[in-house]
Amino acid sequence: MERTLREISCAVGTSLVLDNATSKRIFCHYARIFVDIDFSKKFFHEIIVEQEGFSFTMEVVYERLSDFCSHCQTLGHDVTNFR
């Protein structure tokens, strides 16, 4: 299971750590994975997961994102605050 989740998370960035509940399969309604993402690239809110003979859409939810300024390419503030 961990390998599959890491492969799926590669669609949004580099998988770093699965949370405790996910790795121990305590709560199976969703998986929470700590992922290193490149803020300058497009964020996906859905991904298509393909396996042998079938595919399905999976929602991606981002938690605790830092502000990213697309103007100066810096974390910590939003382009709307740029002067």
pLDDT at 41: 84
pLDDT at 45 over 80: yes
pLDDT at 42: 84
| H helix runs in 10-72, sequence order | 20-23
CA dist 27 to 9, 21, 23, Å? Answer: 18, 6, 10
pLDDT at 78 over 80: no
Q: CA–CA separation, 28 vs 9, rounded Å?
A: 16
Read off the pLDDT of residues 16-35 as tens digits, 9 standing for 90 and up.
Answer: 888 888 888 887 778 888 89
pLDDT at 80 over 80: no
Query: Burial letters for 44-69: b for 16+ Cβ neighbours within 10 Å, e otherwise?
Result: eeebeeeeeeeeeeeeeeeeeeeebb
Instruction: Give the model's confidence band at 81: pLDDT under 50 very low, under 70 low, under 90 confident, else very high.
Output: low
